[in-house]
Amino acid sequence: MSRRILTIFVVTFIAILATSLPSHAQGSDTTISSKIPFEFMVGDKAFPAGEYRFVYQPRTMPALQIQGVDGKHHAGLTVIARLAKLHEGDAPKASFVFDKVGEKRYLSEIWMPGQDGYLVHASKDENGHDVVEVK
């Protein structure tokens, strides 16, 4: 009987450890700022061209947020999918991908420095895309 209890304890401990490792690896808050030179959409919400902060806080919901430095524009971003880093070992620069649909641009991907990317909007009728890199 004690061997069975020990086995249950060990399996439970390993399960808890395994689920806590990924959150620790991506566990630090990241904030980057960028000037977006055109009007864009986040979901159904319009954002004017301007300076924005993109905040990644893995311990909060939503984990990704956009905040205008003027304090007037902000939104939580729903992550549809996580996108694997393209360059292993390198710390890729932060960048943002905007899908262009007709005359509108939709924020579709956010790439934080040294982390995976995040798909936040998927256009069904994509005509092209613009990439803004953080300098």
Per-residue confidence band for 103, with pLDDT thresholds at 50, 70 and 90: confident
d(CA 41, CA 105): 6
Percent over 90 (pLDDT), the chain = 14
Residue 91 CA to its chain's centroid (Å): 16
Token pair listed for 73 = 């524009």
At 82 the pLDDT is: 78
For 41, how many CA atoms within 13 A lie in the half-sphere containing its CB?
Answer: 14
Region 102-110 average pLDDT: 88
Token pair listed for 28 = 């630090």
Region 109-121 average pLDDT: 82
At 130 the pLDDT is: 57
Predicted model pTM: 0.66
